[in-house]
Structure 1
Amino acid sequence: MEERKKLDWSRFTVNLPLDVQKEDIINAWMTQEALEKWFLKLAEFTTPNGEKRKRQEQIKPGDAYRWQWFGWPETVEEHGKLLNPEQGEFLRFQFGKAGKVGVSIVQEHGQTILRLIQENIPQDEESRMNFYVGCKTGWTFYMLNLKSILQNGPDLRNKRSELQMD
């Protein structure tokens, strides 16, 4: 029987192959307007001096964010800060209490792959379920929605407020 590697609950990776230009993938993450097309209901960013970024203005390390999702009450928000990207990343941020997220584009076997790594996930049982399982499931869905949007497909998000998540 094959030996199984012990699961590292402190981090996960989601890879998504995409057949679109690298610049289009990066641009989908870099403004409030772009993030609201595939990911968030609200993606507000504030500069380190406290000025709210314009909807089409590029976000930068040091910015603080306030995010809301479709399907959740407006009281459910995530707050965090954009960090300096590490090697190969085009975006990195503190994802509330759920750890840090780095986003990059890699080429493997001639394929463009969007890679998201969430790390520094707390190790208590509740965090394993909420952040490892919950966030990995969420990122998988939203990245597939990004692929659908970039390839001129439908927006897969539930935008009907009467159909709440739990």
Structure 2
Amino acid sequence: MNKLTFDQFTKKIYIKAPLEKLYWCWGTSEGICSWFLRKADYTKKDGTLRKSDENIQKGDLYTWEWHNWDGQAQGEVLEANGNNHLTISFEDSHVSVSLEESKNAVLVILKQFNIPTDDESKLNIHHGCSNGWTFWLANLKAYLEHGVLLNETEFDLTNIPLAGFEFVNM
């Protein structure tokens, strides 16, 4: 990305953890629920539910549920190499996560792209997801490096209309 645009953004963070552990955090239901989601179901191409500790595969369909949000996100796993890269459809766009070993850490590179550029998408997807991913990547770092989760699970924020835009640890 040479310049900032509304159809994509990139977020990066170094995390001191093994590459395999980071891929587990993104590429399994068990892993992604350890730091990010309340529930994640991945359905194989044959219609069966993938086991929680099993790596996701290209073509899997997913349903995600968050803490403090009653809705669900659904999409498809577009790429998953079982090692250091995956791409999913997400919020009318795509999200890719790449993991690059670097000295004593792993560089996590998250890209959200193919974002529609209408005003609603600029606000909800570009602005909302960009802010959200910034927090969630920091949460992943806190979890893996210090065993601490920063997201709100004690207080119920579901009845606050702008909670997703106002609370930094949603």
- TM-score normalised by the chain length of structure 2: 0.84
- The verdict on how the C-alpha distance between 1:90 and 1:7 changes in structure 2, with shifts beyond 3 A counting, is closer
Q: Is the 8 A contact 2:19 2:101 kept in 1?
A: no
CA distance, structure 2, for counterparts of residue 20 and residue 163 of structure 1? 31
Q: Could you tell me which residue of structure 2 aligns to residue 43 of structure 1?
A: 40
Equivalences, count: 158
Distance 1:108 1:155 in 2: 24
Query: What do the CA deviations read for 1:46-95 (whole angstroms, capped 9, x no partner)?
Result: 0011101111121111000000110112xx11000000259x96110011
What secondary structure does 1:28 align onto? Answer: helix
Q: Distance in 1 between matches of 2:9 and 2:16?
A: 23
Amino acid of the residue matched to residue 36 of structure 2? Answer: F
- Paired position in structure 1 for 2:69: 72
Q: Which residue does the alignment assign to 2:88?
A: 93
Q: 2:96 aligns with which of 102, 112, 117?
A: 102
> How far, CA to CA, are the matches of 2:69 and 2:73 in structure 1?
12
Residues 108 and 21 of structure 1: CA distance in aligned 2, closer, same or farther (over 3 Å): closer
**What does the per-residue CA deviation read over 1:11-51, in whole Å, with 9 as the maximum and x for residues that have no partner?**
00000111222111111111111110101111110001110
Deviations 1:113-164 (CA, angstroms, capped at 9, x unpaired): 1000000000101100100110011111111111111113311111136233
What is the one-letter code of the residue matched to 1:141? F
Give % identity.
34
Provide runs of 4+ in structure 1 moved above 3 Å. Answer: 107-111
Q: 2 CA distance for matches of 1:84 and 1:162?
A: 34
Q: Quick one: which amino acid aligns to residue 63 of structure 1?
A: D
After superposition, the CA RMSD in angstroms is 2.1
- d(CA) in 2 for partners of 1:162, 1:18: 29
